[in-house]
Amino acid sequence: MSINAALFKTVAGEDALYIILRIAGALLLAYFMSRATLRLPNPSRRFRALLRAHALAFALSAAVIAIARFPLGVFSVRQLGILLAAQISWLSIDQLRRNYPENRRSVKQG
């Protein structure tokens, strides 16, 4: 085994590239599902409403993963853990965006 091949092996024996692709896939799925649920009618835009939208996005994503993978026998709870971490990261980013909006009209034009 070469040095480069040894660098891309993890402790559990999985390829690092495989893990990176799983994390990227979870981030993309969580992003698109949360964007879809954030567009649903929501009477308040407080943190509770943001949390509800992200919880619904996680539930829908978990259902899609379970429906697609359970009949094939390749479903594992570890996939939901990665998805939950991705959903929490998007929730954190959305909360930061809500608390610190970018003031685009702060500089007066001419």
Other Cβ atoms less than 10 A from the Cβ of 87: the count is 25
Q: What's the pLDDT tens digit per position in 63-83?
A: 988 888 877 777 778 888 899
Q: Looking at residue 88, what is its pLDDT?
A: 94
Q: What's the pLDDT tens digit per position in 1-44?
A: 555 555 555 545 567 788 888 889 899 999 999 999 988 887 76
- Phi, psi (5° rounding) for residue 60? -65, -45
pTM passes above 0.75: no
